[in-house]
């Protein structure tokens, strides 16, 4: 993988295809490989850029706390370093969506469209934030295996797990090889992210919202209520998928992205 220097670190990324730039931003605690079902097919139409966010995959780790703003700024720095001058289609899943909101608020001039997969605009409840701080402390002591065991049943639809889909084991392996310091810092960053709900009417960009029918982390009703507040939103529900809709149902997700970006 290639790397590029950003503030206080390095981001790893892949860059395939040509045409309008499409940035695919992964969720927590994963890496760019979660877009394996998108990268090659969409590179037939777009220049597909897939970063590993700071602390994940092959990117460098900034221990302590990494905010969603920092991650958004990293991506703006990456685009500048790669001389991507055309505004990008920013597609983020879950934590990648939290980063997308910050990118839209801080780097609007670099955006042409937004795609939000299985994410929310609201901040954490006090209870969720406290659980994240607990996870941030525990992962430093115990490593990531408890994170994998706790998260996998929530990331995938029941049928994806019960049918033995290889994407479940692949995702487990990604979590197990992630640096605990990266998981900890991002968990703290998510715990203190702001609620952007009241800012949604300002995000006046064509926006596609994709949600797995059985998403247990950001259910369809949550995403529909985000869509209602955005000036130019299209909502697409992916039948049979959970939170990891792009991995579970790549053909349907790619179709939704291609139709939206025509």
**Binding site residues, ligand MLT, CB under 6 A:** 27-28, 94-95, 190, 217, 243
Report the nearest approach of ligand MLT to the CB of residue 18 (Å): 29
Q: What's 194's DSSP letter?
A: P
Q: How far is CA 70 from CA 77, 155, 207, 250, in A?
A: 10, 25, 23, 29
- Give the whole-angstrom CA distance, residue 32 versus residue 5: 17
Report the nearest approach of ligand MLT to the CB of residue 194 (Å): 14
Report the nearest approach of ligand MLT to the CB of residue 193 (Å): 9
Considering beta carbons, is residue 28 or 90 the nearer one to ligand MLT?
28
Joined tokens for residue 186? 């991002």
Considering beta carbons, is residue 76 or 217 the nearer one to ligand MLT?
217
- Give the whole-angstrom CA distance, residue 132 versus residue 184: 9
Considering beta carbons, is residue 28 or 260 the nearer one to ligand MLT?
28
Using alpha carbons only, give the angle 150, 153, 156 rounded to the nearest 5 degrees. Answer: 135
- Give the whole-angstrom CA distance, residue 93 versus residue 253: 12
Report the nearest approach of ligand MLT to the CB of residue 121 (Å): 12
Report the nearest approach of ligand MLT to the CB of residue 186 (Å): 9
Considering beta carbons, is residue 43 or 121 the nearer one to ligand MLT?
121
Considering beta carbons, is residue 104 or 186 the nearer one to ligand MLT?
186
Residue 131 — φ and ψ, nearest 5°? -60, -35
Report the nearest approach of ligand MLT to the CB of residue 31 (Å): 11
Q: What's 179's DSSP letter?
A: -
- Give the whole-angstrom CA distance, residue 111 versus residue 82: 15
Query: How many CB atoms lie under 10 A from the CB of residue 113?
Result: 19
Considering beta carbons, is residue 86 or 195 the nearer one to ligand MLT?
195
């Amino acid at each position: 993988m290639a790397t590029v220097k950003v503030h206080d670190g390095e981001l790893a990324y892949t860059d395939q295809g040509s045409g309008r730039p499409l940035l695919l931003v992964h969720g927590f605690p994963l890496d760019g490989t979660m877009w394996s079902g998108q990268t090659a097919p969409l590179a037939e139409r777009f220049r597909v850029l897939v970063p590993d966010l700071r602390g994940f995959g092959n990117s460098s780790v900034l221990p302590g706390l990494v905010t969603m703003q920092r991650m958004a700024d990293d991506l703006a720095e990456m685009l500048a370093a790669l001389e991507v001058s055309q505004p990008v289609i920013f597609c983020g899943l879950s934590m990648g969506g939290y980063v997308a909101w910050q990118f839209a608020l801080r780097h609007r001039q670099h955006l042409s469209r937004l795609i939000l997969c299985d994410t929310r605009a609201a901040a954490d409840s006090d209870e969720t934030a406290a659980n994240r701080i607990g996870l941030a402390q525990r992962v430093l002591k115990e490593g990531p295996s408890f994170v994998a065991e706790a998260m996998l049943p929530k990331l995938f639809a029941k049928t994806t797990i019960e049918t033995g889909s290889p994407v479940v084991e692949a995702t487990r392996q990604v979590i197990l090889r992630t640096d605990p310091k990266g998981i900890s810092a991002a968990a703290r960053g998510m715990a203190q992210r702001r609620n952007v709900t009241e800012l949604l009417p300002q995000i006046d960009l064509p926006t596609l919202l994709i949600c797995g029918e059985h998403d247990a982390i950001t259910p369809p009703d949550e995403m529909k209520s985000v869509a209602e507040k955005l000036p130019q939103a299209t909502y697409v529900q992916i039948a049979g998928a959970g939170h990891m809709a792009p991995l579970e149902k790549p053909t349907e997700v790619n179709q939704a992205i291609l139709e939206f970006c025509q």
